Structure 1
Amino acid sequence: MPADYHTHTPLCLHATGEPEEYIAAALAAGLTEYGVSDHAPARPEPFDDWRMLESDLPAYYDWIERARAAAGSMPVRAGMECDWLPGCEGWIEDLAGRYPWDYLIGSVHYLGVWDFDNPKWLGRWAESDVDAVWTSYWQTYAEMAKSRLFDILGHPDLVKKFSHRPAGDLARFYEPAIEVIAASGCTIELNTAGWHKPCEEAYPHPQFLALAHQAGIPLVISSDSHAPGEVARDFAKAIEWAKSAGYTETQLFEKRQRRAELLGGSRANMPYQEHDS
């Protein structure tokens, strides 16, 4: 199975389980590698109620080391999922220097002050112009990619989580963002958690995935697990989605450099490539 790099810990206040339980699940799934990437702190604190605080970072480093101790010969990579927020660039650069990270995931969960994927604010969707929300989301996502602060861009079409989608061909939203992502050198993820949300569809949509492959954008497959039983969830199905879009390989990360892994788990005979971030 490919590496699973998008996974969480209880430090984000909405995940459960111990490092050893996550590693046991990763080993049972036959993952190539496992990565820890909890929601990074954001300023000013407390920013919201679903992420680490800056004071939690030492405990987070300890979590990663416990996972490594339990993993035997399976590599455990260190990452964070960082929110793209207005003016966040200096803070992300600060966090990037705090630890020898293997990768950073960039995600868009906020449009202004609205964390649009939070069920707490589901009613706001009924008051919103869906086309306008999608336009804002994809512009924000492209800005995140353009920053080149991240190695992996998380759940590309998270905006569809509650099944609010504009009418017509959605390529009009996808194509401009894909152009920017391709120029950035970032990797995107095929995130299986969407199959278990109201949209009942992995992130991103197959059309986006096919366009991304055509543009030469690298791919990882991720579970976005918040409990041990979710590690590598639906990976066999995701592999088929990736192959249908034209992908033959995913990516492995170490010290913010990447190399190819053939779909099916074999490492391609390629050196790590540094991501210009």
Structure 2
Amino acid sequence: MPADYHTHTPLCRHAEGEPEDYVEAAIAAGLTEYGISDHAPAIPEPFDDWRMSERELPEYFHWINRAKARADGRIAIRSGLECDWLAGCGPWIADLSSRHDWDYLIGSVHYLGDWDFDNPKWLGRWAESDVEAVWSHYWKTYAEMAEAGIFDILGHPDLVKKFSHVPGGDLDRFYEPVIDAIAASGSVIELNTAGWHKPCAEAYPSPRFLELACSAGIGLVISSDAHAPSEVARDRARAVEMAKAAGFTETVLFEGRRRSFEPL
């Protein structure tokens, strides 16, 4: 089990644990790489209450260095950020990418306009929304993120299903244009196991999306989205089987924003 690249720190205000504990959990899980990718700052600040601020970046770098010290060569430590795709964010992402020698950047869609739709705080807004319209907005936004070509990994592709609001009919109408955009961009997607522990009770993305991604030649990483040491590599074996069932035979590794490949 090579890598878990999507993990968080207490700087995001909704995770817990110390870097030393995450490192030991990753080693105990049999990983060979532990990636740190907390929610990146967004501007203008204060933006919301679930990410680090720009002034906390030095503290984030200190967290990464503590993890490397604890690892002491026993496991590779990779550094990244989970960056929100927001209107006009390109220059800001370029700025963030210059602040550190990142191993990868994850792009994610958490916002549709001013609505962070996966935030339980605003769950009531779903009852007032047209699910078909929300899904159309989400996947259009996701395709735009892919087309920008600035992220190495595209996070939890169908996060929009988190609270089990799913339109009727064949969902390929949403998936296929996005698959084309991702394939053209060269970005990798993640199979994110956190969804199994959310109301949708399904990993992100769905098995059908994974099948389409594999057929399109899109690369894959498997991530836990851990917000506590106990969640590192959670459900990894189950995710590997899901990936294999979709046709994947390998996963992607990142170092210095360069790729290598590891058999599943």
Scaled by the length of structure 1, what TM-score is found? 0.94
- Contact conserved, 1:2 with 1:221, CA < 8 A, in 2? no
How far, CA to CA, are the matches of 1:21 and 1:30 in structure 2? 14
Q: Cα distance, 1:2 vs. partner? A: 2.8
Unaligned stretches of 5+ residues in structure 2: none
Per-residue deviation, residues 143-162 of structure 1 (Å, max 9, x unmatched):
00000110000000000000
How far, CA to CA, are the matches of 1:71 and 1:153 in structure 2? 27
Question: Does residue 49 of the first structure (1) align with residue 83 of the second (2)?
Answer: no
How far, CA to CA, are the matches of 2:24 and 2:169 in structure 1? 44
- Single out whichever of 64-73 and 166-175 deviates more from structure 2: 64-73
How far, CA to CA, are the matches of 1:195 and 1:178 in structure 2? 22
Other structure's SS at 1:105 match: strand
Scaled by the length of structure 2, what TM-score is found? 0.99
Give the equivalent residue in structure 1 for 2:205.
Answer: 204
Question: Does residue 128 of the first structure (1) align with residue 129 of the second (2)?
Answer: yes
Letter in 2 for 1:127: E
Per-residue deviation, residues 26-76 of structure 1 (Å, max 9, x unmatched):
000010211000000000101000000000000000000100111132110
Per-residue deviation, residues 188-208 of structure 1 (Å, max 9, x unmatched):
000000000000000000000
Give the equivalent residue in structure 2 for 1:33.
Answer: 33
Question: Does residue 166 of the first structure (1) align with residue 180 of the second (2)?
Answer: no
Letter in 2 for 1:164: H
Question: Does residue 58 of the first structure (1) align with residue 58 of the second (2)?
Answer: yes
- Structure 1 consecutive aligned stretches of length 4 or more whose deviation exceeds 6 Å: none
Unaligned stretches of 5+ residues in structure 1: 264-277
Per-residue deviation, residues 205-242 of structure 1 (Å, max 9, x unmatched):
00000000000000000000000000000000000000
CA RMSD of aligned residues (A): 0.5
How far, CA to CA, are the matches of 2:189 and 2:13 in structure 1? 25
Give the equivalent residue in structure 2 for 1:18.
Answer: 18
- Contact conserved, 1:191 with 1:203, CA < 8 A, in 2? yes
How far, CA to CA, are the matches of 2:262 and 2:122 in structure 1? 39
How far, CA to CA, are the matches of 1:72 and 1:30 in structure 2? 16
Instruction: Map 1:199-238; keep pairs closer than 5 Å.
Output: 199-238=200-239
Give the equivalent residue in structure 1 for 2:86.
Answer: 85
How far, CA to CA, are the matches of 2:20 and 2:65 in structure 1? 11
